[in-house]
C-alpha cells in the first residue's frame, strides 16, 4: 500500500507539473450537494484537494435530483464555458459522452487500477467506448425507509417487514395525531418512493421488465396498478404542506419527531448524522417492506469536461482524489452512501453504512442489484421524465390508478 501511495503521489505530482510551473489552477465544480449533510461530505473532497495546492471554485445548484444543475450545465456548455467537473448520474453521463464532450481519464484510471476495484454496474456509466469519462464517488441505494425510533416506540410500533405491517404502523401513527409519512412533493421524490413501491409489487423480474426492458405488458399489468394503489395510500398519509418541500426538510420532520417515516435514498442518513443522531438509538434504517432482498441504486460521479483535447492536471488530481481508498471511506461516512470501490474496509462506517455495504454485496451476488429508475440508472432521461410525469400526476390526484397505468404505458411508448 505504501508503494502504491508513493507511486500515486508521484503520478499526480507529475501531471500537475506539466500544466504549470507556477501553481495549480482551481477546479470549478458544478454540483447539487447543498444540504447540511451533503455540504459536510463535500468538504472532505475540498480539503483533500487543498492539501495538494488545488483550489476549489464552488458552483452549487440546489435541487436534490440534479435537474436544475443539468439545465445550468447545458447553458454553460452551449456558451463554450464548461466547468472543470460536474456531478452527474447514470444516463446523463453517457449522453454527454455520446456528444464527445468529456475528457479521457484512462491514464489515471490505468495508473490506479480502477478497472479492478469499481463494480461493473458503475463502470456501465463511468466508461464510454472503452474510455473512462467520470470518477464514481459512491453508491447510493434508494429503497430505504427512515424512522424516528422514539416516535415508533411511543406508539408501540415495531419495524414493519411487509406492506400490511407498514399500513398498520401508518394507521397507528395517524390515530395518534402524528404525521405518518414525511415527503416532499417534487417529481424526483415522488419517483423515488414509486421506485421502492413498484419493486415491492412487481418483484425484481417485473421491475427489470418494466423499467429497464420497458416491456409494455408489465408496465400495464395488475402489479403496476397495485403499485399506484399503494402510492395513493401513501399520498393520503403525508401532511397537507408536502407540495414543493425539499427532501432534507422532510428528513428534518423525522429527525424532530414530527413524522414517523420517510422513504428516501441513503443520503438522508447524512442529515441524521449531521444532527448528531445515532442509528439504532435515535433512528432506524431498513429496506422498504417487500424489497429486503433487492437494492435499487444510483451512483454519484464526477464527469470531467474536455478542456482542450487532454485531461488537465487538476482534473486528473480530482479524479485520483475521488477514487482514493482513504477518501472513499471518509466521504461516505459523512454522506450516508457506501464506497464505489469494492476493496475498502467498511468497519469504520456506522450500522446503517455497514448494512448498506452488506446489502449491496448480497444483491450484486444474487442478481438483485438494479439501477434506479427514479435516478437515471434504469433507462434514458426521456423515459425517466415520462415516468416522472405520470407518477406525479397520479400522486397529485389528477387520475386514479387504472388511468395511471394506461398513461404510463403510453408515455413510455412515446418516450423510448
DSSP symbol at 275: T
- Backbone dihedral angles phi then psi of residue 239, each to the nearest 5 degrees: -75, 165
Distance from C-alpha of 225 to C-alpha of 8, rounded to nearest angstrom: 53
Q: Can you tell me the mean pLDDT for 299-324?
A: 91
Distance from C-alpha of 104 to C-alpha of 34, rounded to nearest angstrom: 28
β-pairing, 259-263 vs 179-181, is parallel
Tens of pLDDT, residues 353-375: 999 999 998 998 899 999 999 99
Confidence of residue 17 (pLDDT cuts 50, 70, 90): very low
Helix (H) or strand (E) holding 330: helix 325-335
Is residue 311 within 8 A of residue 104, CB to CB? The reply is: yes
Q: What is the pLDDT of residue 24?
A: 52
Is residue 52 within 8 A of residue 317, CB to CB? The reply is: yes
Domains observed in the chain:
2-139+299-353 (3.40.190.10), 141-297+363-415 (3.40.190.10)
Residue 14 has pLDDT above 80, yes or no: no
Tens of pLDDT, residues 160-179: 999 999 999 999 999 999 99
- Of 99-103, 284-288, 307-311, the range with the lowest mean pLDDT is 307-311
Distance from C-alpha of 272 to C-alpha of 278, rounded to nearest angstrom: 8
Query: CA angle 182-382-213, nearest 5°?
Result: 90
CA 268 from centroid of its chain's CA atoms: 10
- 17 or 146: which leads in pLDDT: 146
pTM beyond 0.75: the answer is: yes
Q: How far apart are the first and last CA of the chain?
A: 47
CA atoms in the 13 A half-sphere facing the CB of 381: 13
Q: What is the pLDDT of residue 127?
A: 97
Distance from C-alpha of 73 to C-alpha of 75, rounded to nearest angstrom: 5
Distance from C-alpha of 19 to C-alpha of 316, rounded to nearest angstrom: 11
Residue 18 has pLDDT above 80, yes or no: no
Average pLDDT, the chain: 91
Distance from C-alpha of 300 to C-alpha of 237, rounded to nearest angstrom: 31
- What would the grid cell of residue 96 be? 454527454
Percentage of the residues of the chain whose pLDDT score is greater than 70: 94
Taking each helix axis as running N to C, give the angle between helix 381-395 and helix 222-235, from 0 to 180 degrees, rounded to the nearest 10: 50
Amino acid at each position: 500500500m505504501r508503494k502504491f501511495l508513493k507511486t500515486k503521489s508521484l503520478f499526480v505530482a507529475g501531471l500537475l507539473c506539466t500544466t504549470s510551473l507556477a501553481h495549480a489552477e482551481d477546479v470549478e465544480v458544478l454540483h447539487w450537494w447543498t444540504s447540511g449533510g451533503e455540504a459536510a461530505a463535500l468538504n472532505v473532497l475540498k480539503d483533500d484537494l487543498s492539501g495538494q495546492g488545488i483550489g476549489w471554485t464552488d458552483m452549487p445548484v440546489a435541487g436534490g435530483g440534479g435537474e436544475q444543475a443539468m439545465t445550468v450545465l447545458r447553458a454553460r456548455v452551449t456558451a463554450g464555458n464548461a466547468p472543470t467537473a460536474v456531478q452527474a448520474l447514470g444516463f446523463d453521463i453517457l449522453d454527454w459522452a455520446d456528444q464527445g464532450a468529456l475528457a479521457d481519464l484512462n491514464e489515471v484510471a490505468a495508473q490506479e487500477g480502477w478497472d479492478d476495484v469499481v463494480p461493473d454496474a458503475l463502470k456501465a456509466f463511468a466508461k464510454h467506448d472503452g474510455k473512462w469519462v467520470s470518477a464514481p464517488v459512491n453508491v447510493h441505494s434508494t429503497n430505504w425507509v427512515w424512522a424516528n425510533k422514539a416516535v415508533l416506540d411511543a406508539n408501540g410500533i415495531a419495524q414493519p417487514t411487509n406492506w400490511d405491517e407498514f399500513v398498520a404502523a401508518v394507521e397507528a401513527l395517524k390515530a395518534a395525531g402524528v404525521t405518518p409519512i414525511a415527503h416532499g412533493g417534487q417529481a424526483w421524490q415522488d419517483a423515488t418512493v414509486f421506485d421502492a413501491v413498484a419493486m415491492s409489487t412487481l418483484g425484481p423480474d417485473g421491475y427489470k421488465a418494466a423499467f429497464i426492458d420497458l416491456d409494455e405488458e408489465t408496465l400495464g399489468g395488475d402489479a403496476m396498478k397495485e403499485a399506484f394503489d399503494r402510492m395513493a395510500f401513501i399520498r393520503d398519509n403525508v401532511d397537507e404542506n408536502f407540495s414543493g418541500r425539499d427532501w432534507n426538510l422532510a428528513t428534518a420532520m423525522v429527525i424532530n419527531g414530527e413524522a414517523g417515516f420517510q422513504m428516501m435514498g441513503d443520503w438522508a442518513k447524512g442529515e441524521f448524522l449531521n444532527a448528531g443522531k445515532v442509528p439504532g438509538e435515535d433512528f432506524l434504517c431498513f429496506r422498504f417492506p417487500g424489497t429486503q432482498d433487492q437494492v435499487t441504486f444510483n451512483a454519484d460521479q464526477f464527469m470531467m469536461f474536455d478542456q482542450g483535447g487532454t485531461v488537465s492536471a487538476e482534473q486528473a488530481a480530482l479524479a485520483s482524489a475521488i477514487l482514493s481508498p482513504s477518501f472513499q471511506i471518509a466521504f461516505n461516512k459523512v454522506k450516508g452512501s457506501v464506497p464505489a470501490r469494492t476493496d475498502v474496509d467498511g468497519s469504520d462506517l456506522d450500522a446503517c453504512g455497514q448494512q448498506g455495504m452488506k446489502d449491496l454485496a448480497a444483491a450484486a451476488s444474487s442478481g438483485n442489484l438494479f439501477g434506479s429508475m427514479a435516478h437515471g440508472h434504469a433507462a434514458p432521461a426521456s423515459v425517466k421524465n415520462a415516468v416522472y410525469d405520470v407518477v406525479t400526476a397520479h400522486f397529485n390526484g389528477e387520475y386514479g390508478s387504472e388511468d395511471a397505468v394506461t398513461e404510463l404505458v403510453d408515455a413510455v411508448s412515446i418516450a423510448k
